């Protein structure tokens, strides 16, 4: 199975969109298109059309260009059946459903928390995850609609993926996330290392995405709410409560 290329491109202020394209093909898949001119540019650069669009959730910074892309390329839009606020998908998918586009398999993972109807797309043949605003590098999305319980449960679903999963998330928030993480986990050698690397990337104007799940398991405090260290810090024996306290500490950081 030939590995598809995943092209990351900036959108709006700090969003990332993605173009998934098999080598030598003239069709590609856009993930969360919100910035029309950037979407058209990446398609043109790679000499392809957007035959499909994947939507992770209904926030404007992830869907604003869906309508225009669809009318230009007659793209097939794929989104969660229960998300009534996204543009009506041509193909509605549900949790754990798998489907195939352009020879690649995708698996839907429902990850409520940031919004209640948020989904991730996992490519099991290549261990690639599009996590939208659920998991960020060294952080997670704000809890706009969900509860700590469902958000923690969603993060646990991601934790169970293969360790070499490459994560492509919706925003470049890594440095701010690293600063918060270091404030609650200052002695973490891997995190210190990651922080240096992230600063270097920023200085060179390079993205910090994708990130490997194995690195996130070591460095991202939001995936480690069940560890003693954070239970002590937040004075709780319950990982959901630890998550709630950590999330609100980050909101006020
Ligand atoms: Zn969002
Ligand atoms: Fe967003």
Q: Which ligand is nearest to the CA of 85?
A: 1
DSSP summary character for residue 90: S
Longest dimension (CA), the chain: 55
Cα 62 to ligand 1 centre (Å): 7
pLDDT band at residue 1 under the 50/70/90 scheme: low
- Residue-wise pLDDT for 173-213, tens only, equals 999 999 999 999 999 999 999 999 999 999 999 999 999 99
Q: Which ligand is nearest to the CA of 170?
A: 2
Cα 144 to ligand 2 centre (Å): 11
Q: Three-class SS of residue 138?
A: coil
- Residue 127 — left, alpha, or beta (φ > 0 → left; ψ -120 to 50 → alpha)? left
DSSP summary character for residue 26: S
- Residue-wise pLDDT for 99-154, tens only, equals 999 999 999 999 999 999 999 999 999 999 999 999 999 999 999 999 999 999 99
Query: Which uninterrupted H or E stretch holds 113?
Result: none
Q: What are the angstrom distances between the C-alpha of 111 and each of 63, 73, 80, 136?
A: 18, 29, 11, 13
* C-alpha to C-alpha distance for 74 and 26, rounded to whole angstroms: 14
Q: What pLDDT is attached to residue 118?
A: 98
The token pair at 6 is: 């995943």
Q: What pLDDT is attached to residue 128?
A: 98
8 Å CB contact between 60 and 36: no
8 Å CB contact between 33 and 8: no
Q: What pLDDT is attached to residue 76?
A: 98
pLDDT at residue 68 is higher than 70? yes
CATH class of 5-251: alpha beta
Higher per-residue confidence, 1 vs 102: 102
Q: Which ligand is nearest to the CA of 17?
A: 2
Task: Dump the DSSP string for 61-76.
Answer: HHHTTHHHHHHHH-PE
The token pair at 220 is: 């991202």
The token pair at 49 is: 């059309």
Q: What pLDDT is attached to residue 2?
A: 81
Cα 61 to ligand 1 centre (Å): 7
Q: Which ligand is nearest to the CA of 117?
A: 1
Q: What pLDDT is attached to residue 157?
A: 98
Q: What pLDDT is attached to residue 149?
A: 98
Q: What pLDDT is attached to residue 240?
A: 98
Among 146, 16, 230, 104, which residue's Cα sits nearest to residue 155?
146
Domain borders along the chain are 5-251
DSSP summary character for residue 171: B
* Average of per-residue pLDDT across 59-85: 98
Residue found under tokens 């099991």: 124
Q: Which ligand is nearest to the CA of 12?
A: 2
Q: What pLDDT is attached to residue 81?
A: 96
């Amino acid at each position: 199975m030939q590995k598809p290329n995943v092209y990351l491109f900036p959108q709006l202020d700090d969003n990332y969109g993605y173009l998934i394209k098999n080598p030598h093909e003239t069709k590609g898949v856009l993930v969360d298109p919100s910035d029309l001119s950037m979407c058209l540019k990446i398609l043109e650069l790679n000499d392809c059309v957007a035959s499909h669009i994947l939507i992770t959730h209904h926030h404007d910074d992830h869907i604003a260009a869906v309508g225009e892309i669809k009318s230009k390329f007659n793209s097939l839009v794929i989104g969660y059946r229960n998300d009534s606020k996204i543009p009506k998908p041509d193909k509605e998918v549900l949790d754990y459903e798998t489907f195939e586009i352009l020879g690649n398999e995708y698996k839907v993972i429902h990850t409520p928390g940031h919004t209640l109807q948020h989904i991730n797309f996992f490519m099991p043949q290549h261990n690639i995850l599009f996590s939208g605003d659920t998991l960020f590098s060294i952080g997670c999305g704000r809890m706009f609609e969900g509860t700590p319980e469902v958000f923690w449960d969603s993060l646990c679903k991601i934790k169970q993926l293969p360790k070499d999963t490459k994560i492509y998330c919706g925003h470049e928030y890594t440095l701010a996330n690293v600063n918060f993480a270091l404030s609650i986990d200052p002695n973490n050698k891997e995190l210190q290392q990651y922080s240096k690397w992230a600063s270097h990337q920023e200085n060179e104007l390079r993205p910090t995405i994708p990130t490997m799940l194995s690195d996130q398991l070591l460095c991202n405090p939001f995936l480690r709410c069940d560890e003693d260290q954070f239970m002590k810090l937040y004075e709780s024996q319950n990982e959901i409560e630890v998550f709630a306290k950590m999330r609100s500490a980050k909101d006020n950081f």
